């Protein structure tokens, strides 16, 4: 990341030395015809029909019975100051540099899709759609759009804005190969019946067929009419009309320093059920503070309203329960246990490497990594041991498999099986031919380097050397994508999905080109495949077969059974050392920030994700006065463990 | 030849008279001497183990597995535990531990939780522990040793390149001089710190720690040798026109001989004056790089890494930043005092007053 920044800086300086920008900036682009032509060129994909063509026997759903999100006590108003770790490099939500820490504020957490999963129930509640119906046989989802929905500039949202996304995300102009691929391979048809009725088809039927369609977000067709080969520069700093409650107004963006978002008083969904008690704060002031310790100081001064206390050092030491502000009740502490797919933090072993392709070496590594020590002493027992790479998927996760414990004897026995018997002068095991049992453990997580040094120290006991290599985030990711790693410490951020994916991480076609011959034996000439998420170079013929079955299966029961079998197979191969997960999030906030009675939601990933909190101005004044006079208020430290999954230690 | 020169002897005598510089020099020398055998003072390995009437000296050399001393594990003996075991038994076995019985890598969480602990003399953590319960004194000692070693290696390499190219430019002159002047102008305009950061984020270093330190050193040398060349160039130009050089040339001496045997000893005073300041800048640079996270690979102990931890835990663990900052101030002050003294004693104008 940093590297890119510096290169960009260098280019900027070079560019500044050049002549004034060419005339091209003012070139007029209108892609209307190009888009229409594209629709015409792909008649199978873009269909145009009438309302009479909509099947009459559809089973419509509207999610209207789902409970409200947020509290009816919420009041609108106030300004909240939030920290940004880095200033966004663009206001685009797609294309180079767009996937940063700011994007959730204008896209992921704030803008509306057709429907959203209820954070407690997982069923869908309506967003831009009025109602929807799944036609199982045709693998098609019919959606009736809410006719009241408008963009923030007042333009109504119609079916055309949905057709448009299948042009936009497939063009080369946006320089986003992942989007190109996704929108080309995951959908097979979009049909326009009227301004407010569409249907979208997908290639495979799934238990959650609806999610792929309902989580689509439209694009303002009128705003993107200038998309062309200069898309990246042209849209770099333009704020797109949005379906979200928050707007970026002219002059509220101070480059490199802050961005102020304003609540849209005329937001079309402001009285809509599931939406009306959310997005309560009038102004969100996002300021750039790079160092976390400085953010904490700003929080303690009251400049920042909330501060995440996930890290033990903050929860226990920097803001202990005995802290004056906590003791006096000015700052409240909250600890919330959630239930959702757990990011699989652990060691991903590249089985394509020498030594690591031997199962006994991998089994030895499983027993030589002391995760329990990391959890007990570094995370102070707050985190839990991950047992498989797919924990947190309810019935889809394996119920009984458990990670192998740290055990020097067991590890050394496995290493001995691989021929590593004698210890060298430095205590590292060696083969008779002098091969040392040493591997590079790399990671792109600067903040977790201490974990790796702890593992390294403990692994020495079992006679294995870990050479710790801590890289910058981008460099670390590039390394594993190029499959240049021995062992990599990392995790995937899984979104809220019903069931785990196996194809991306364990299918042989993501590990090698032509991994197996026709009869299932290993192809001796296979070549490693880069740029995939199969970080273990995992290729087992049986696994491929199971994954194919899993992908074709459409009922939950079969899929659960298959998922368990695959987890067992993966466990047996020992190519992933499960690390830890945190089954909760923690927060410290000033007293004037108010939350609903339950605080957060079963499947939430963080306290602010659903924007249900609000600011009480009276309480703010009261708190500030009390603090000035040093008057104690009610001390509040609350633990919400109704959704706790792991038993208490 | 250098020591016998009466001029030099006079300079050295003058250096001894400058008390601050001289005592700084003695302190630093003593410190370096101590640091070079730091393993004897700060180590998790015992100095001497007396077991079954045999004496063992584990400090240097290969490791002794626990089984050597009757323990039930095959990995390296935990000598602190061994000492307690021996103390509690009635045998005549004993263990002599170093002054600080910890190495800079081990996590010694006394309370079962890894966190910074304040200095505790009874536990042997004289400066406390860092965020993962590693002994700060141990990390400081080994970190300082690496920094000093690094700085001296840096100085030597920079001077070697600087002297050779600078002298050659001054002595040969002409096109050679012109070419290198332009090259240096361009080269020295590349921002050094950025380059180190960029180069270091591109090189994926899977090699061992010494090799990675070597890479860092060469990258830094690569972008730092230029400043020395200009001083050497002007000095050589000056000396070149002196009669003794002409005399040497008339007698048939070749260019290398003239440069290294005749000119170099005469420009040495310039060189010596700069040395301490180069050391200071090298220590600062490596500390700064470490602070930014681009320096020595983890978990190498380093001053910069400690400073970074310290600033992140200012409120809760002030002893980390105090220790690291204190050490840095002491080392840099010592070197600077020495530098000032050398500059003063080597200054031909004895009564110059900088006002």
pLDDT in tens, A106-154: 998 999 999 999 999 889 999 999 999 999 888 899 999 999 999 999 9
**Three-state SS at A290:** coil
DSSP letter string, A146-186: PTT-B-TTSPBP-HHHHHHHHHHTTSSTT--HHHHHHHHHS
| Residue A44 contacts residue A115 (beta carbons within 8 Å) | no
Q: Which of A318, A461, A479 sits opposite B316 (nearest CB)?
A: A318
| Residue B225 contacts residue B162 (beta carbons within 8 Å) | yes
Nearest residue of B to residue A464, measured between CA atoms: B75
Strongest mean pLDDT among A15-29, A393-407, A465-479, A550-564: A393-407
pLDDT in tens, A333-384: 999 999 999 999 999 999 999 999 999 999 999 999 999 999 999 999 999 9
Provide the pairing of β-strand A258-263 with A246-254: antiparallel
Nearest residue of B to residue A472, measured between CA atoms: B201
Q: Is residue B149 part of a domain?
A: yes
The domain that holds B290 is classified in CATH as: 1.10.3720.10
Q: How many domains does chain B have?
A: 2
Architecture of the A28-263 domain: Alpha-Beta Complex (3.90)
Domain map of chain A by residue range?
A: 28-263, 307-339+583-640, 346-494+551-579
A293/B contact by beta carbon, under 8 A: yes
Q: What percent of chain B has a predicted confidence (pLDDT) above 90?
A: 50
- Whole-angstrom distance, CA of residue A586 vs CA of residue A580: 17
In sequence order, what are the residues at sequence separation of 6 or more whose Cβ sits closer than 8 angstroms to the Cβ of residue B189?
none
Q: Tokens 């015992």 map to which residue?
A: B46
Q: Which residues span the domain enclosing B254?
A: 6-37+137-346
- Whole-angstrom distance, CA of residue A566 vs CA of residue A568: 5
Same domain, B69 and B183: no
Q: Is residue B122 part of a domain?
A: no
In this prediction, residue B41 carries a pLDDT of: 94
Same domain, B93 and B157: no
In sequence order, what are the residues at sequence separation of 6 or more whose Cβ sits closer than 8 angstroms to the Cβ of residue A122?
A496, A498, A603
Is pLDDT at B287 greater than 90 in this prediction?
A: no
Q: Which of A2, A317, A456 sits opposite B201 (nearest CB)?
A: A2
Pull the structure tokens for residue A199: 């249907």
Chain A residues touching B206 at Cβ < 8 A: 440, 442, 467, 469, 486
B322/A contact by beta carbon, under 8 A: no
Contact between B316 and A457 using a beta-carbon 8 Å cutoff: no
Alpha-carbon distance A363 to nearest alpha carbon in chain B (angstroms): 19
A6/B contact by beta carbon, under 8 A: yes
Same domain, B317 and B227: yes
Please state which of the ranges A25-29, A95-99, A499-503, A572-576 shows the lowest mean pLDDT: A25-29
**Three-state SS at B98:** coil
Residues 485-544 of A with CB under 8 A from B: 486
Same domain, B75 and B182: no
| Closest of A403, A437, A413 to residue A364, by C-alpha | A413
In this prediction, residue B33 carries a pLDDT of: 96
Q: What is the mean pLDDT of residues B258-269?
A: 83
Chosen for mutation from B59, B298, B311 (greatest number of chain A CBs closer than 10 Å) is B298
Cα distances (angstroms) measured from residue B313 to each of A276, A378, B104, B319: 42, 16, 19, 9
A449/B contact by beta carbon, under 8 A: yes
Give domain A346-494+551-579's CATH number out of 3.40.50.2300, 3.30.70.20, 3.30.420.40, 3.10.105.10. Answer: 3.10.105.10
In this prediction, residue A19 carries a pLDDT of: 43
Chain A residues touching B105 at Cβ < 8 A: 453, 456-457
Alpha-carbon distance B133 to nearest alpha carbon in chain A (angstroms): 10
Is pLDDT at A15 greater than 60 in this prediction?
A: no
Alpha-carbon distance B162 to nearest alpha carbon in chain A (angstroms): 28
| Residue A246 contacts residue A110 (beta carbons within 8 Å) | yes
Contact between B205 and A469 using a beta-carbon 8 Å cutoff: yes
| Residue B38 contacts residue B98 (beta carbons within 8 Å) | no
pLDDT in tens, A79-107: 999 999 889 989 999 988 887 789 989 99
Same domain, B72 and B155: no
In sequence order, what are the residues at sequence separation of 6 or more whose Cβ sits closer than 8 angstroms to the Cβ of residue A220?
A151, A153, A155, A161, A240, A241
Same domain, B334 and B198: yes
Residues counted in chain A: 649
Mean per-residue pLDDT of chain A = 91
In this prediction, residue A3 carries a pLDDT of: 47
Alpha-carbon distance B194 to nearest alpha carbon in chain A (angstroms): 8
Q: Which of A293, A412, A462 sits opposite B312 (nearest CB)?
A: A293
Q: What is the mean pLDDT of residues B233-262?
A: 89
Q: What are phi and psi of A429, to 5 degrees?
A: -65, 145
**Three-state SS at A370:** coil
Split at pLDDT 50, 70, 90, the class of A16 is very low
Q: Which of A2, A317, A469 sits opposite B297 (nearest CB)?
A: A469
Cα distances (angstroms) measured from residue B234 to each of B184, B245, B253, B271: 15, 15, 22, 12
- Whole-angstrom distance, CA of residue A599 vs CA of residue A316: 21
In this prediction, residue B207 carries a pLDDT of: 59
Pull the structure tokens for residue A320: 């202990």
- Whole-angstrom distance, CA of residue A140 vs CA of residue A199: 7
- Whole-angstrom distance, CA of residue B83 vs CA of residue B68: 14
Residues counted in chain B: 355
Alpha-carbon distance A505 to nearest alpha carbon in chain B (angstroms): 24
Pull the structure tokens for residue B40: 């004897």
Pull the structure tokens for residue A314: 């903050």
- Whole-angstrom distance, CA of residue A423 vs CA of residue A438: 12
Chain A residues touching B73 at Cβ < 8 A: 408, 461
Q: Is residue B179 part of a domain?
A: yes
Based on the number of CB atoms within 10 Å of its own CB, is A366 exposed (0-12), middle (13-18) or buried (19 or more)? buried
In this prediction, residue B203 carries a pLDDT of: 62
Same domain, B61 and B200: no
Residues 184-223 of B with CB under 8 A from A: 194, 197-198, 201-202, 204-206, 208-209
β partners of residue A589: A306, A332
Evaluated on CA atoms A481, A483, A489, A491, the torsion sign reads: positive
Please state which of the ranges A448-457, A493-502, B124-133, B146-155 shows the lowest mean pLDDT: A493-502
In this prediction, residue B193 carries a pLDDT of: 74
Q: How many Cβ pairs closer than 8 A exist between chain A and B?
A: 101
In this prediction, residue A264 carries a pLDDT of: 95
Same domain, B230 and B290: yes
């Amino acid at each position: 990341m940093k590297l890119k920044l510096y290169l960009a800086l260098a280019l900027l300086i070079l560019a500044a030395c050049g002549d004034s920008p060419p005339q091209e900036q003012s070139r007029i682009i209108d892609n209307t015809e190009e888009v229409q032509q594209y629709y015409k060129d792909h008649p199978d994909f873009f269909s145009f029909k009438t309302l009479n063509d909509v099947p009459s026997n559809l089973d419509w759903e509207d999610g209207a019975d789902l409970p409200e999100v947020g509290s009816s006590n919420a009041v609108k108003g106030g300004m909240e100051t939030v920290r940004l770790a880095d200033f966004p490099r663009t206001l685009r939500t797609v294309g180079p540099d767009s996937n940063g820490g700011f994007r959730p504020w204008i896209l992921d957490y704030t803008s509306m899709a057709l429907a959203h999963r209820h954070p407690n129930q997982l069923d869908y509640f309506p967003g831009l759609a009025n109602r929807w119906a799944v036609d199982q046989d045709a693998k098609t989802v019919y959606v009736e759009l809410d006719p009241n929905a408008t963009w923030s500039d007042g333009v109504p949202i119609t079916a055309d804005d949905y057709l448009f996304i299948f042009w936009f995300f497939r063009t080369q102009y946006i320089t986003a190969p992942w989007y190109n691929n996704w929108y080309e391979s995951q959908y097979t048809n979009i049909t326009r019946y009227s301004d407010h009725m569409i249907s979208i088809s997908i290639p495979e039927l799934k238990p959650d067929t609806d999610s792929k369609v309902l989580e689509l977000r439209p694009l303002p067709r009128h705003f993107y009419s200038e998309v062309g080969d200069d898309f990246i520069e042209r849209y770099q700093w333009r704020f797109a009309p949005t379906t979200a409650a928050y707007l970026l107004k002219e002059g509220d963006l101070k480059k490199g320093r802050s961005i102020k978002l304003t609540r849209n008083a005329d937001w079309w969904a402001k009285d809509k059920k599931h939406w009306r008690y959310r997005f309560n704060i009038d102004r969100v002031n996002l300021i750039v503070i790079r160092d976390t310790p400085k953010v904490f100081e700003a929080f303690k001064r009251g400049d920042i309203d909330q501060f995440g206390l996930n890290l033990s050092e903050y929860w226990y030491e920097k803001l202990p329960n005995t802290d004056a502000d906590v003791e006096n009740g000015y700052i409240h502490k909250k600890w919330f246990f959630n239930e959702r797919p757990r990011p699989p933090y652990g060691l991903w072993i590249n089985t394509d490497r020498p030594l690591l392709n031997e199962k006994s070496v991998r089994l030895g590594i499983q027993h030589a990594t002391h995760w329990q020590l990391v959890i007990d002493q570094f995370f102070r027992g707050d985190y839990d041991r991950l047992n498989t790479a797919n924990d947190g998927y309810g019935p889809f996760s394996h119920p009984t498999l458990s990670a192998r414990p740290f055990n020097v004897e067991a590890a050394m026995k496995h290493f001995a099986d691989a021929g590593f018997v004698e210890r060298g002068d430095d205590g590292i095991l060696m083969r008779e031919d002098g091969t040392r049992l040493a591997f590079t453990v790399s990671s792109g997580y600067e903040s977790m380097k201490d974990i790796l040094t702890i593992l390294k120290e403990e692994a020495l006991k079992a006679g294995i050397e870990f050479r710790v290599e801590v890289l910058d985030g981008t460099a670390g990711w590039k390394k594993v994508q190029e499959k240049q790693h021995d062992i990599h410490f990392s995790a995937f951020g899984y979104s809220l999905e019903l069931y785990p994916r196996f194809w991306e991480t364990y299918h042989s076609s993501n590990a090698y080109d032509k991994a197996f011959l026709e009869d299932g034996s290993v192809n001796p000439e296979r070549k490693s495949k880069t740029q995939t998420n199969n970080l273990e170079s995992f290729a087992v013929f049986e696994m491929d077969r199971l994954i194919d079955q899993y992908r074709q299966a459409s009922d939950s029961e079969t899929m659960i059974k298959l998922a368990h079998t695959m987890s067992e197979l993966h466990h047996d191969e020992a190519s992933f050392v499960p690390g830890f997960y945190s089954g909760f999030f923690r927060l410290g906030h000033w007293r004037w920030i108010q939350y609903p009675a339950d605080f957060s939601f079963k499947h939430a990933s963080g306290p602010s994700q659903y924007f249900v909190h609000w600011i009480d101005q009276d309480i703010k004044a009261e708190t500030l006065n009390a603090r000035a006079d040093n008057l104690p208020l009610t001390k509040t430290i609350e633990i919400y463990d109704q959704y706790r999954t792991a038993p208490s230690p | 030849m250098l020591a016998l020169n009466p001029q030099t002897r006079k300079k050295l005598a003058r250096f001894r008279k400058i008390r601050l510089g001289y005592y700084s020099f003695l302190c630093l020398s003593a410190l370096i001497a101590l640091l070079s055998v730091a393993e004897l003072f700060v180590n998790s390995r015992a100095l001497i183990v007396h077991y079954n009437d045999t004496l063992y000296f584990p400090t240097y050399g290969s490791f002794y597995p626990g089984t050597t001393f009757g323990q039930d594990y095959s990995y390296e003996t935990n000598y602190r535990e061994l000492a307690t075991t021996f103390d509690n038994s009635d045998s005549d076995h004993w263990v002599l531990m170093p002054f600080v019985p910890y190495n800079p890598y081990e996590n010694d969480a006394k309370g079962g939780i890894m966190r910074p602990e304040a200095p505790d003399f009874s536990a042997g953590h004289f400066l406390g522990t860092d965020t993962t319960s590693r002994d700060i004194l141990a990390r400081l000692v080994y970190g300082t040793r690496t920094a000093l070693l690094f700085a001296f290696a840096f100085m030597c390499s920079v001077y070697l390149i600087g002297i050779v190219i600078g002298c050659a430019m001054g002595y040969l002159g002409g096109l050679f001089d012109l070419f290198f002047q332009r090259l240096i102008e361009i080269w020295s305009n590349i921002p050094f710190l950025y380059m180190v950061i960029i180069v270091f984020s591109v090189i994926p270093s899977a090699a061992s720690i010494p090799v990675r330190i070597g890479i860092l050193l060469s990258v830094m040398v690569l972008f730092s040798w230029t400043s020395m060349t200009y001083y050497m160039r002007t000095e050589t130009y000056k000396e070149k026109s002196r009669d003794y050089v002409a005399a040497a040339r008339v007698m048939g001496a070749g260019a290398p001989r003239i440069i290294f045997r005749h000119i170099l000893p005469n420009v040495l005073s310039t060189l010596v004056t700069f040395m301490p300041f180069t050391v200071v800048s090298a220590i600062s640079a490596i500390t700064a790089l470490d602070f930014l996270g681009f320096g020595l690979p983890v978990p190498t102990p380093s001053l910069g890494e400690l400073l970074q931890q310290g600033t992140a835990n200012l409120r809760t663990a002030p002893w980390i930043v105090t220790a690291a900052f204190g050490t840095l101030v002491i080392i840099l002050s010592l070197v600077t005092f020495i530098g000032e003294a050398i500059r003063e004693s080597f200054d031909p104008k004895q009564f110059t007053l900088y006002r």
